[in-house]
Amino acid sequence: MARLWISFTALILSLSIAAQDTHRPIELDNVQVVAARRLKDVGVEKTSIDTLILHDNVSLSMADILSKNSTLFIKSYGRATESTAEFRGTSPSHTQVTWNGMKVNSPMLGTVDFSTIPSYFIDETNLYHGASSINITGGGLGGAVEMLTKPITEEGLHGQYVQGIGSFNTYDQFVRLTYHKKHWSSSTRVVYSTSDNKYTYTNYDKKTDVYDNQGNVIKSYHPKEKNKSGYFDDVHALQEVYYNTGNGNRIGLNVWYSHSKRGLPFLSVDYKDDADFKNEQKSNTLRNVLSWQSIHEDWTLNAKGGYIYNEMMYDYFTTRQDATNSITKSRSYTNTAFASVNADWNISERMLFTTGASAYYNHVKSSDMSPFHIGDNFNKGRCDTEVNAQIRWRPIDVLSLAAVLREEMHGEKIIAPIPAVFADVILYKPLNLVLKASVAKNYRYPSMDDLYFQPGGNKDLLPERGFTYDTGVEFGIKKRMWMLKGNVTAFDSYIKDWILWTPNTKGFWEPSNVKKVHNYGIEATANGELMLAKDLKITASANYAWTPSKNMGEEVNANDESYGKQLCYVPKVSANCNVKMMWKTWTAGCQWSHYSERFTTTSNEVSYITGKLKPYYMTDVSIEKVFHVKKIEFSVKGIVNNVLNTEYVTVLSHPMPGRNYEVIFKVKV
């Protein structure tokens, strides 16, 4: 590692010499800081993450991006392990996720593993907090994540290659070819990431005893151990083709294939040898969206069709001869067909009507083999349909109102209507100070696992239902040398009939509607830019969330002390801050993130040593140099993650890596 660090330093120094004669324009971003909000965004609490951030680091997944650039809580076991996102202390299944307008939540689990989505494959991400998610989909009791890819606008044939080399034998390769001319545009992206991921950590959960000849312990120490079975080998390919007729019509096709092979890291308290045992998950996923967009002066029409295939294979097996090779395994095969149509009608400058409908047919076949069950878990198909109508109205310049109504049908069951109303009031125009408010009722229908998984599935589950109230202010100021914008939102939400899986006395798990959860709190974001000189700019963004998320459900029995307590693993406070300084062709960055303590028991027991995870503060720094040779842009970026070598865990008994390094080379033609 020392050798890598020296090489990296030398590289930066040499490039600094080369940078003397290369320049790039540095100016304030052309961000929109105006009070006249789009009618479509009336009352909406939305966080946007743009391409610059998404394409900052080839080794990042969407889980990393969301963790470091939003108030979402990402529960992760480390790189390339299952990572789910939670809004406002809700559960991962309360986060609805779309990719180019198609829901990608697993119909089986109801969740999305963001670690399987490379950030380089996404061009824009919008986070809809709380009630605002109803603008794009139902079921997002916590919120919704909208991931979009964008058609190429740069004319001609272009290429980009990115090579990342990191600690723990980690290699990330990215290649992109784009072509755009008149009506046609095409983009091909491929990411290939591999790693042994065998980082070293001090295992405080174990202790090595040294004995003397009489068998007395003469010395004990916490051993240094390698992360076992953390390897990954992921490949993704995304092909996009768009045809623009030139008269407002555009047809697009997005095809995304991914293959993943990942070891599931051993616990820090596992005494088995990873040479003898493999705990591995493999998946193959194909996502396709065919879209037609027709844009006219007063109306817009979008029609989409899509298909998702996913197969997941989990195996725990041994290479030893003393057991059946396959100890446990599970298989699931999911096929989803999707169609939607949406229309916007600008009735007047002050009124917009939107309507749409979508249908998903999901078929899941799931089976497993374990000491508890062997055979099919279920083999079911279900059609989920949805219609919506939305009206937005600006009666006077300073006031905008919106109402959204959704109706969903899952299989043969129609759930109650999902309504939401939104309002915007401009309070003080010089500061672009806007007051926003919304209220919504939302439902999430149980996943197919919840209903059908055998043993345990519960066909009598009710949909989870939530009420959310949001209110907040946002502001934006832009001057010649600086810009500042931000917002603060307070929310209050109740979720009833929360679906929770608990073990029964026979050894397997069963879901039931048991919990009532009260989430409330404050979310705040701020973005600023400051031009210090002609070629020197500092940008900063910060997110902060205070999210008490309390179980208010009925006690299991008189011994249950979870009432009124913070939900497991949900931090009350999360915050992050990104600061970048750009000088000519140099960019230096510092990313800082923080999670407050997280409880591991429903009763928030603190007398246990394992009862809570201590707060942690994570700091990453980077420096990048861009230089040009004719029309070719080169860049070299060095990153030090966890620069202060903080020892931390995000989940019990899963230590995270200490200080580690990456070097990223980019070539763009």
Partner 1 sequence: MKTNIILYSCVLSLASLLMTACSDLEDIKPNDPPTPVTAEGGVFILCEGNFNSGNSTLSYYDPVTKKVENGVFRRANDRKLGDTGQSIAIYGNTAYIAMENSGIVWGISTDDFKVKGQLTASSDTKIINPRYVHKVSDTKAYVTDLYAHYINIFNPQTFKYIGSISVEGAANLGYCSTEEMVQFGKYVFTNCWSYSNKILVIDTELDKVTETITLTSWQPKSMKLDKNGKLWVITDGGYTTAETSYGDNVPHLYRIDAATRKIELDQALTTDEANVQIAMNRNADTLYIINNDIYRMGINDKKMPVQPFINAPVDSNGKRHKLYGIGVDPHNNEVYVADAVDYRQAGAVYRFSSQGVLIDNFKVGITPNHFAFSDENAKNIPNENEDENENENEDEKMARALVSKIFEYMPAPGHQVNGYTVVGDFIHDGATMEEACDSVMSHFKHQFMVSLGAQGGYLVAGFDHNVLNSNGDYDLAIKGNPYSYQSEPGIVWVMKDENGNGLPDDTWYELAGSEYGTENETLDYAITYYKPTEPFADIRWTDNQGGEGIVPYMKSWNAHESYWQDWVPAEMTPEGLCRTYYGSRLKDTHTYTNGYTMEPPFDWGYADNDGKDYFKNDNFYKKGAMAYFKISNAVTKEGKPANLDYINFVKVQTGQTGCSPNLGEISTEVHGIWSLTPLRGKDEK
What beta strand segments (E) does 205-248 contain? 208-211, 217-221, 224-226, 232-244
- The residue range among 4-12, 19-27, 165-173, 599-607 that interacts with partner 1, by the rule CB under 8 A, is 599-607
Q: Which of residues 203-232 bind partner 1 (CB under 8 A)?
A: 204-207, 209, 220, 222
Q: Tell me the window of 11-19, 253-261, 437-445, 583-591 that interacts with partner 1 (CB under 8 A).
A: 583-591
Q: Which of residues 610-629 bind partner 1 (CB under 8 A)?
A: 610, 612-619, 621
14 or 504, CB closer to partner 1?
A: 504
- Rounded to whole angstroms, the Cα distance separating 175 from 169 reads 20
Question: Looking at 129-137, 143-151, 503-511, 521-529, which segment touches partner 1 (CB under 8 A)?
Answer: 503-511
For partner 1, give the closer residue by CB, 237 or 590.
590
Strands (E), 90-231: 95-99, 102-103, 124-129, 143-148, 156-166, 170-181, 184-195, 200-202, 208-211, 217-221, 224-226
Please choose, out of 82-90, 247-255, 345-353, 370-378, the segment that lies near partner 1 by the rule CB under 8 A.
Answer: 370-378
Contact between residue 531 and residue 496 where contact means Cβ atoms under 8 Å apart: no
Q: Could you tell me the CA-to-CA distances from 199 to 203, 223, 232, 665 in Å, in that order?
A: 12, 14, 13, 23
- Distance between CA atoms of residues 142 and 155, nearest Å: 40
Are 82 and 99 in contact by the 8 Å Cβ rule? The answer is no
Q: Which helix H or strand E contains 43, and what residues bound it?
A: none
Binds partner 1 by CB under 8 A, chosen from 502, 629, 632, 669: 502
Q: In terms of CB distance, is 240 or 464 closer to partner 1? A: 464
Q: Which is nearer to partner 1, 244 or 619 (CB)?
A: 619
- Of 432 and 551, the one with the shorter C-beta distance to partner 1 is 551
Closer CB to partner 1, 28 or 327, in the complex:
327
Q: Does 582 bind partner 1 (CB under 8 A)?
A: no
Give the separation between CA 183 and CA 243, rounded to whole angstroms. Answer: 5
Among 72, 649, 663, 664, binds partner 1 (CB under 8 A): 649
Closest approach of partner 1 to the CB of residue 460, in Å:
13
Rg, the chain, Cα only: 26
Binders in 375-404 for partner 1, by CB under 8 A: 375-379
Q: Is 632 in the site for partner 1 (CB under 8 A)?
A: no
Contact status: 653 vs partner 1 (CB under 8 A): yes
Q: Is 561 in the site for partner 1 (CB under 8 A)?
A: yes
Q: Where are the alpha helices (DSSP H) in 439-507?
A: 448-452
Verify binding: residue 374, partner 1, rule CB under 8 A: yes
> Half-sphere exposure of residue 257, counting CA atoms within 13 Å on the CB side?
4
User: Is residue 137 within 8 Å of residue 102, measured between CB atoms?
Assistant: no
| 327 binding partner 1? (CB under 8 A) | yes
Show the 3-state SS of 312-355: EEEEEEECCCCCCCEEEEEEEEEEEEEEEEEEEEEEECCEEEEE
- The CB-of-31 to partner 1 minimum distance in angstroms stands at 22
Task: Give the whole-angstrom CA distance, residue 572 versus residue 362.
Answer: 36
Q: Does 314 bind partner 1 (CB under 8 A)?
A: no
Contact with partner 1 (CB under 8 A): which of 323, 414, 427, 629?
323
Helices (H), 419-576: 448-452
Pairing of strands 374-396, 351-369: antiparallel
What is the smallest separation between the CB atom of 524 and partner 1, expressed in angstroms? 17
Residue 353 identity = F
N-term to C-term CA, the chain: 32
Smallest distance, partner 1 to C-beta of residue 622, A: 12
Q: Which of positions 528-557 make contact with partner 1 (CB under 8 A)?
A: 532-533, 536, 538, 555-557
Quick check: 200 binds partner 1 (CB under 8 A)?
no
Which one among 171, 184, 299, 372 touches partner 1, defined by CB under 8 A? 372
Q: Return the residues of window 253-282 that contact partner 1 according to CB under 8 A.
A: 267-273, 275-277
Of positions 583, 633, 634, 659, contacts partner 1 by CB under 8 A: 583
